[in-house]
Structure 1
Amino acid sequence: MSSSVSGLLKASHPEPTAAVTAVAGLLAWGAGHRAGGITAVALTVLASQLAVGWANDALDAGRDAAVGRTDKPVAVGAVRRRTVAVGAAVAAVATPVLASTTGPAAAFWATVGLAAALLYDWPLKSTPLSVLPYAVSFGTLPAFVVLALPGAPAPPVWLVAAAACLGAGAHFANVLPDLADDARTGVRGLPQRLGAAGSRAAAAALLLAATATLVLGPPGPPSWVGLAAVAAAVVAPALGWYAGRATARAGGRQVAAFRAVMLVALIDVALLVASGRVV
């Protein structure tokens, strides 16, 4: 029993799941939610992330085994594929249920975000439209958080656009360590078609666009803190990719690129919270 729980935890993509959930909680706090609202937002996003992570590992079990992914618990037999699939289904059902406690408009966008993310797992992962689910699911996150606040106006366009750019950038960065394995197993999404250099350029441009939109989108002149955040959005991905190359030479399968993306996301959320510009 304990081994199955451990396998489920590892199959949930725990690092990005924790990071995205933390970003959502911080965003909810910055939007003015009280403790109950922050909890509802965080639990909804956590359920959505678990659904997507488990569905991904269940669907990719054959590919992961074919390329010897020892970091994937389903591929190495640490947890059954059916167990992960059932977990994904339960989490997917729980997401709109939890979101409904925040209101119908917020629940709608939370459900749209989940549906978009699941469409990446199948069938869009191996198509030129693979970036679209990331852009949509990340873009709906601030819409859900803001609309979950009673009496809040519609989220500003610049906030949704920045989140969509961040999500699209995350897609290109997250795929970078797996390009060789993807080529062996026939995955042909947009990053695989662009190649490593094209994906790095796309990720860097999108991350910079996300941060610049957050700094320049709200009314008023940008602050020095905001301009520093733009500089961080340039430096963090470069450092992350350098670290990722170093760990790859050591034989590990790290997610340094995705860590860099999440670092930029946390910087962006901190910028929003500090400036009081979430809504």
Structure 2
Amino acid sequence: MSRWVLGLVTASHPEPTIAVTAVAGLLAWGVGHPPASVAAVAGTVAASQLATGWANDALDARRDATVGRTDKPVARGLVGRRTVALAGVAAALATPLLALTTNPVAALWATAGLVSALLYDWPLKSTPFSVLPYAFSFGTLPAFVVLALPGAPAPPLWLVGAAACLGAGAHFANVLPDLDDDARTGVRGLPHRVGATGSRVAAAGLLLAATVWLVLGPPGPPSTLGLAAVLTAAVVPPLSWYAARISARPSGRGTAAFRAVLLVALIDVALLVASGRLV
């Protein structure tokens, strides 16, 4: 039983699930949700993330086995593909039900974000449109959080746009370490079509755009910390990728790209949560 549970937890993509759920909860707290509402928002986002992660591993089971992904529990035989698929269905059904504990409009946005994420898992992952679910689903996240607050106005465009850019940039960076394995199994999303260099440039540009939007979007002059964040977003990714390029370990370039994006993403999340001018 413990082996089965471990496999199911690992197949849920626990790191991004925890990270995105935590961001949603912090954002809900930052815009003024009471504790019960923060829990409802976090529960909805957690269910959505679990559904997406389990669906991804269920659909990619054969491909992961082909390329020898020892980090994937279905490919290793820790948990069955059918079990993971059923868990994904259960989490997907739970998402709108949990979202409805806030209000119907917010639930609609949460459900739309989930559907978009599942469309990435299939069939958009291997198409030139692979970036669109990332942009749309990330954009719906702050929209859901804001609209779940009773009496809140429509989410500001700068907030939704920044989240969409953040998601799109993460897509380009996240694929970088797996480009070779994906090529072996016929995955041809947009990052694969523009190549490693194009994906690095796209990720850096989109993360910079997200940071600029978060700093300049809210009313009032930008803070010194906000301007420092823009400078960091502009400088850190190119420097980290250049250092990886001239190092003796060229295979680590994809990892360097992901870490640079993660740093900028953490800065963007801090800007989101710390700002008192979200709504």
TM tier, shorter chain? over 0.9
* Contact 2:11–2:84 (CA under 8 A) maintained in structure 1: yes
1:205 partnered with 2:205: yes
* Contact 2:41–2:99 (CA under 8 A) maintained in structure 1: yes
- Relative to structure 1, is the Cα distance of residues 60 and 190 closer, same or farther in structure 2, using a 3 angstrom cutoff? same
Deviation digits for residues 126-145 of structure 1, max 9, x if unmatched? 00000000000000000000
* Contact 1:23–1:265 (CA under 8 A) maintained in structure 2: no
Residue in 2 that maps onto 1:135: 135
Residue in 2 that maps onto 1:113: 113
Distance 1:5 1:250 in 2: 36
Offset of residue 273 of structure 1 = 3.0
Classify the secondary structure of the residue corresponding to 1:75: helix
1:31 is aligned with what amino acid? Answer: V
* Contact 2:176–2:196 (CA under 8 A) maintained in structure 1: yes
Residue in 2 that maps onto 1:232: 232
* Contact 2:172–2:199 (CA under 8 A) maintained in structure 1: yes
Distance 1:243 1:15 in 2: 26
Distance 2:241 2:13 in 1: 20
Length-normalised TM-score, structure 2: 0.93
1:219 partnered with 2:223: no
Distance 1:157 1:178 in 2: 33
* Contact 1:27–1:278 (CA under 8 A) maintained in structure 2: no
* Contact 2:176–2:255 (CA under 8 A) maintained in structure 1: no
Residue in 1 that maps onto 2:12: 12
Residue in 2 that maps onto 1:157: 157
Distance 2:250 2:7 in 1: 25
* Contact 2:142–2:159 (CA under 8 A) maintained in structure 1: yes
Distance 1:17 1:260 in 2: 20
Distance 1:245 1:2 in 2: 42
Distance 2:32 2:50 in 1: 26
Distance 1:214 1:61 in 2: 38
Count of matched residue pairs? 279
Residue in 1 that maps onto 2:3: 3
- Relative to structure 1, is the Cα distance of residues 73 and 209 closer, same or farther in structure 2, using a 3 angstrom cutoff? same
Instruction: Provide the aligned C-alpha RMSD in A.
Output: 2.4
Deviation digits for residues 112-131 of structure 1, max 9, x if unmatched? 00000000000000000000
Q: Which moved more, 1:224-233 or 1:87-96?
A: 224-233
Residue in 2 that maps onto 1:57: 57
Identity %: 77
Structure 2 runs not aligned, ≥5 long = none
